[in-house]
Amino acid sequence: MSMSENSSLRDIHEVNLSYLMLAQRLLRENFSAGMFRLGFNADVADIVLRLSPAQLVKLAGSSSLICGFRLNDYDLLSSLTQDVLGGVLQQAHSTILLAQRAATQPA
């Protein structure tokens, strides 16, 4: 394995572990809001919340990213990058668009 591939794998492991730790923190702080922000259903959120530190490290060691980029829709991503009222409403606009998307996705 080349140095570049090793570096990429280390970066993937680091992102995975950071993501899992963030997910646990969000779920502990506010389970429902964490589920919404992470795009998790209750069953997945419960499993992630219950992972031990050893399980987190083992899961993070995957050679693939375990988090997904949820903005796979060109129209949605384009809408989120447009300036809304000089940026004043950008966060609210983004939240509304993402909430609509979450509500229309199958469970």
CATH number of the domain residue 59 falls in:
1.10.4000.10
Of the two residues 62 and 3, the one the predictor is more confident about is 62
Single pTM value for the model: 0.71
Check whether residue 62 and residue 107 sit in a common domain.
no
Check whether residue 77 and residue 61 sit in a common domain.
no
Could you tell me the residue range of the domain that residue 52 belongs to? 1-68
The C-alpha atoms of residue 94 and residue 54 are separated, in whole angstroms, by: 35
- Residue 107: pLDDT band (50, 70, 90) is very low
Check whether residue 60 and residue 12 sit in a common domain.
yes
Structure tokens at 88: 């004043």
Residue 21 pLDDT exceeds 90: yes
- Residue 22: pLDDT band (50, 70, 90) is very high
Check whether residue 73 and residue 88 sit in a common domain.
yes
Mean pLDDT of 23-29: 98
Please give the C-alpha separations between residue 11 and each of 1, 19, 63, 75, in angstroms, as whole numbers.
15, 12, 10, 30
**pLDDT on residue 19:** 97
